[in-house]
Amino acid sequence: MDVAIVGMLMTPLMLFLIFVAPIWVILHYRSKRKLNEGMSKEDMDRVRDLARQAEEMRDRIRTLESLLDAEHSNWRKESR
């Protein structure tokens, strides 16, 4: 009986070790390498562009808030 159980467990284990484990290891180290490489030039350009857009938006919001403060001093209380 013990030999039959060992035989049943060996087949899936061998299939795992032959097919799944090598692919798993390759994909794992490929993703590690990509993380270590950092961002690509396109990614860096995109981050800079997004940061610039965020600063422009912040300036616009400040301008809008100052206009609202000048024309409707209690707009902050009304919006809540």
Residue 80 pLDDT exceeds 80: no
pTM: 0.50
3-state percent helix, strand, coil for the chain, nearest multiple of 5: 90, 0, 10
Q: Of 17-21, 37-41, 57-61, 64-68, which range is least confident?
A: 37-41
Residue 51 pLDDT exceeds 90: yes
Residue 77: predicted pLDDT: 81
SS3 17: helix
Residue ranges per structural domain of the chain? 1-38, 39-80
Stated as kind and residue range, the H or E segment containing 3 is helix 2-15
CB contact at 8 A, 19 and 11: no
Residue 34 pLDDT exceeds 70: yes
